[in-house]
């Protein structure tokens, strides 16, 4: 095999907020239907059913004085230090997010300047050739940043990229919507560097898709369920059932496409790191992926999960999970040289992507 530029992960980092919020903290919430009417079930029943379906027992919220860009910068700093990379040699900073910096007291998007520029400033990088930009692509934003970085690195245009996913979903969800229990805050970061080699390592392939007919508004910004008590004119809402069915129908096929591009089979995959918004949905996606390869069951340890204690951190989910595994903080899960892993996400847009990576 002739030598070519390959995109290698050389450093990872994450920021997990210290504030733990358990399901019991929602017992005093005034949960409402979309039309503002109350539920005919108690909060205890609502929360119990929620936990059974999603697998979420607790989540993390950022401190009131911490913004998404603050978390992004800290995760990015950890990733750069892990890679041992001189900050001034960095070619790109790509930050995936959906709402920019959202203050705790005023839940409104702040995207000017971009989060990537804010991160570059916080990291005190002076090099003007370090290009910083944002990537709002729904929950798959970090994964899409990995895909874009791969193009830069393989072309020889760049030698290093820092890709970050950061979000404070807790500040943009409707407190009267029971789905607000899903969302959480956090940041994850990854450094990729180019390496000229004849080895079949690094990013092997990717696949992505956007469905934007009725699917475009499965996740959307809408007026609050209770306008009288709301802090913002618009909050994030979703059609949970439609989103579930969309993901179950389309994610397995896209992951299979990415594996076929890498000339790999399902048996070759060591770990599947998938965006986590619903534990039952993720398990169903994995089982359906296995069936595409004629498997009646899948390995129990193939899909590490953090949703039970971190909730849905949107773009931060997959890079945080990767960081925890590589730092030995996920019991029973390791990634070693030669292991092939899948990084996949689904979210607002509706967007799906999948990256196949082989550890060097």
Measured at the CA of 257, the angle between CA 264 and CA 135, to 5 degrees, comes to 115
- Which residues make Cβ contacts (< 8 Å) with residue 37, sequence separation at least 6? none
Q: Among residues 203, 65, 73, which one has the least CA distance to residue 144?
A: 203
Q: What's the Cα-to-Cα distance from 322 to each of 10, 143, 149, 305, 329, rounded to whole Å?
A: 12, 12, 17, 11, 10
Cα(205)–Cα(143) distance, integer angstroms: 12
Half-sphere exposure of residue 302: CA atoms within 13 angstroms, side-chain side: 21
Query: What phi-psi label fits residue 238: left (phi over 0), alpha (psi between -120 and 50 degrees) or beta?
Result: beta
- Show the tokens assigned to 276: 């986590």
Cα(340)–Cα(204) distance, integer angstroms: 9
Cα(272)–Cα(280) distance, integer angstroms: 15
CATH number of 4-197: 3.40.47.10
30, 226 Cβ separation under 8 angstroms = yes
Q: Determine phi and psi for 99, rounding to 5 degrees.
A: -130, 5
Write down how long the chain is: 360
In sequence order, which ranges of 55-137 are alpha helices (DSSP H)?
68-83, 115-122
Q: Where are the beta strands (DSSP E) in 16-65?
A: 19-22, 58-61
- Show the tokens assigned to 296: 């009646």
Domain with CATH 3.40.47.10 in the chain: 4-197, 202-358
Query: In this structure, what DSSP letter does residue 37 have?
Result: P
Query: In this structure, what DSSP letter does residue 157 have?
Result: S
pTM: predicted TM-score of the whole model, two decimal places: 0.96
303, 255 Cβ separation under 8 angstroms = no
Residue 205 buriedness (CB in 10 A; 0-12 / 13-18 / 19+): middle
Tens digit of pLDDT per residue, the chain (360 long)?
A: 678 899 999 999 999 999 999 999 999 999 999 989 999 999 999 999 999 999 999 999 999 999 999 999 999 999 999 999 999 999 999 999 999 999 999 888 999 999 999 999 999 999 999 999 999 999 999 999 999 999 999 988 899 999 999 999 999 999 999 999 999 999 999 999 999 898 999 999 999 999 999 999 999 999 999 988 878 889 999 999 999 999 999 999 999 999 999 999 999 999 999 999 899 999 999 999 999 999 988 998 999 999 999 999 999 999 999 999 999 999 999 999 999 999 999 999 999 999 999 999
- What value does the CA radius of gyration of the chain take, rounded to a whole number of Å? 20
In DSSP terms, 219 is beta-bridged to 238
Q: Among residues 143, 155, 180, which one has the least CA distance to residue 254?
A: 143
- Which residues make Cβ contacts (< 8 Å) with residue 299, sequence separation at least 6? none
87, 121 Cβ separation under 8 angstroms = no
pLDDT of residue 1: 63
16, 310 Cβ separation under 8 angstroms = yes
Other C-beta atoms lying within 10 Å of the C-beta of residue 1: 7
Fold of 202-358: Peroxisomal Thiolase; Chain A, domain 1 (3.40.47)
Cα(97)–Cα(69) distance, integer angstroms: 10
Cα(50)–Cα(39) distance, integer angstroms: 14
- Show the tokens assigned to 181: 């229990």
Other C-beta atoms lying within 10 Å of the C-beta of residue 219: 20
33, 284 Cβ separation under 8 angstroms = no
């Amino acid at each position: 095999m002739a030598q070519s530029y390959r995109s290698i992960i050389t450093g990872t980092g994450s920021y997990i907020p210290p504030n733990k919020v358990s399901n019991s903290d929602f017992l005093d919430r005034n949960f409402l239907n979309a039309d503002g009417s109350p539920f005919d079930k108690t909060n205890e029943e609502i929360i119990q059913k929620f936990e059974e379906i999603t697998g979420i027992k607790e989540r993390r919220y950022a401190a009131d004085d911490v913004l998404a860009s603050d978390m992004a910068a800290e995760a990015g700093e950890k990733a750069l230090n892990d890679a041992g990379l001189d900050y001034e040699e960095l070619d790109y900073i790509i930050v995936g997010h959906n709402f920019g910096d959202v203050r705790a007291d005023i839940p409104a998007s702040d995207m000017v300047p971009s989060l990537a520029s804010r991160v570059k400033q916080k990291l005190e990088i002076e090099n003007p050739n370090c290009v910083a930009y944002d990537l709002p692509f729904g929950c798959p934003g970090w994964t899409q940043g990995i895909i874009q970085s791969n193009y830069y690195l393989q072309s020889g245009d760049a030698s290093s990229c820092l890709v970050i996913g950061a979000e404070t979903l807790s500040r943009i969800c409707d407190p009267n919507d029971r789905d607000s229990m899903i969302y959480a805050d956090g940041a994850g970061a990854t450094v990729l560097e180019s390496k000229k080699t004849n080895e079949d390592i690094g990013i092997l392939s990717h696949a992505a898709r956007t469905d934007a007919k009725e699917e475009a508004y499965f996740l959307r910004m809408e007026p609050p369920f209770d306008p009288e008590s709301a802090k913002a004119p618009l909050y994030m809402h979703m059609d949970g059932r439609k989103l579930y069915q969309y993901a179950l129908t389309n994610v397995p096929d896209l992951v299979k496409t990415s594996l076929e591009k890498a000339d790999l089979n399902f048996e070759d995959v060591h770990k599947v790191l998938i965006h986590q918004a619903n534990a039952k949905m993720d398990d169903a996606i994995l089982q359906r992926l296995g069936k595409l390869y004629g498997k009646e069951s899948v390995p129990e340890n193939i899909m590490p999960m953090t949703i039970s204690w971190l909730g849905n951190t949107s773009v931060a989910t997959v890079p945080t999970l990767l960081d925890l595994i590589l730092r030995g903080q996920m019991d029973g899960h390791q990634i070693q040289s030669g292991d092939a892993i899948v990084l996949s996400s689904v979210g607002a847009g509706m967007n799906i992507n999948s990256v196949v990576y082989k550890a060097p």
